[in-house]
């Protein structure tokens, strides 16, 4: 049984009650009760098992994403259930591919919004632990796929994830680096058609259950510095993007300072990017996800609620002109 960190909860109470209004009460109920959290099962097309879909359906799972989405490759298969349960996880075995990846279903939304097509050059700027990189490869076969993770420990985690899900011939075409994401724009200008910036952020779910109160207090003090890092990562990604290319910015926090404020700062300071409307995508998945109503057309914020305990997940889409 996880213990809630009171320091973090008190901090969130003040901030999110002000930012989310009445919606915060329901969100707090989900975030503070891990037993109502849900997990999605993302199938691995490189290790297909005919029985797996049947097993999932027999256990009450159904596809998370329907045919009305603007972009939904047939090869992307993600299953969810309305009741909280956890499908058994698979261990990493060298030389053997896993059949599925367990994740928060909202984590697939940034990938769907990115709309990767075969042959495009793609960068996943902050790629660990690798779930979104795996999801991108379920959708399409990029021309060049560059997965970057600056943190040494997380980079090893990313490498293991890719080895667990991607067959060797394709794995050899993927470059994995440990570069400082803030410098990639200068190192690789105009190199990519699509970029995912799944930025380091306040992870609301895990922070609430910090076992070390001192560490939690320090995190909260340093929280204000995250917005600057996120802005710098985005600015670097824009430099690395080709004109006409598009970029997704995502976080797993509810914090306005790390979400819409960062995007607004980018839009106000970079004349070569414009917002892209993703409201059709949000509308197409509104049966399975709950969104904050007070957002602009180029962004969405998934709010966890009972029976739809996905998120938090913020997604914004920009295009380079």
Q: Please state the residue numbers annotated as binding site for S-adenosyl-L-methionine.
A: 126-132, 149, 180, 198
* 244 contacts 296 by C-beta, under 8 angstroms: no
Characterize 296-308 residue by residue with b for buried, 16 or more Cβ atoms within 10 angstroms of its Cβ, and e for exposed: eebbbbbbbbeeb
Q: Residue with structure tokens 């309305």? A: 82
Nearest to 247, CA basis, from 115, 133, 135: 115
Helix, strand or coil, per DSSP, at residue 311: coil
| Rounded (to 5) percent helix, strand, coil in the chain | 40, 20, 40
Q: Which of 36, 201, 252, 270 is catalytic?
A: 252
* 125 contacts 197 by C-beta, under 8 angstroms: yes
| Alpha-carbon dihedral angle through residues 213, 32, 64, 262, given to the nearest 10 degrees | -50
Helix (H) or strand (E) holding 113: helix 109-114
* Residue stretches of the annotated binding site: 126-132, 149, 180, 198
Q: Is 252 a catalytic residue?
A: yes
Peptide bond into 312 cis (omega under 30): yes
Q: How many CB atoms lie within 10 A of CB 272?
A: 12
Helix (H) or strand (E) holding 194: strand 192-198
Nearest to 236, CA basis, from 225, 223, 249: 249
Helix, strand or coil, per DSSP, at residue 53: helix
Which residues belong to the active site? 252
């Amino acid at each position: 049984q996880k213990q809630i960190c009171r320091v973090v909860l008190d901090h969130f109470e003040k901030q999110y009650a002000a930012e989310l209004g009445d919606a915060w009460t329901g969100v707090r109920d989900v975030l503070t009760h891990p037993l109502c959290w849900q997990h999605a099962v993302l199938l691995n097309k490189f290790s297909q098992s005919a029985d797996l879909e049947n097993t999932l359906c027999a256990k009450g799972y159904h596809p998370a994403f329907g045919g009305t989405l603007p972009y939904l490759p047939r090869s992307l298969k993600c299953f969810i259930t309305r009741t909280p349960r956890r499908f058994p996880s698979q261990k990493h075995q060298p030389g053997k591919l896993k059949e599925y990846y367990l994740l928060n279903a909202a984590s697939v939304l940034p990938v769907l919004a990115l709309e990767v097509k075969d042959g495009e050059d793609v960068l996943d700027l902050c790629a660990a632990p690798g779930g979104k990189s795996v999801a991108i490869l379920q959708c399409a076969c990029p021309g060049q796929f560059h997965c970057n993770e600056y943190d040494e420990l997380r980079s090893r985690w990313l490498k293991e994830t890719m080895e667990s899900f991607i067959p060797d011939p394709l794995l050899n075409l993927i470059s994995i680096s440990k570069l400082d994401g803030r410098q990639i724009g200068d190192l690789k200008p105009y190199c990519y058609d699509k970029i995912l910036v799944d930025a380091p952020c306040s992870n609301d779910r895990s922070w609430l259950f910090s076992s070390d109160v001192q560490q939690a207090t320090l995190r909260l003090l340093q929280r204000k510095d995250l917005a600057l890092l996120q802005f710098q990562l985005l600015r670097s990604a824009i430099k690395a993007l080709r004109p006409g290319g598009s970029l997704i910015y995502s976080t797993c926090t509810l914090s306005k300072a790390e979400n819409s404020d960062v995007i607004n700062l980018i839009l106000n300071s970079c004349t070569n990017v414009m917002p892209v409307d993703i409201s059709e995508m949000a509308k197409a998945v509104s049966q399975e996800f709950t969104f904050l109503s007070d957002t602009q057309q180029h962004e969405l914020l998934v709010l966890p609620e009972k029976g739809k305990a996905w998120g938090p997940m913020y997604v914004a889409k920009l295009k380079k002109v």
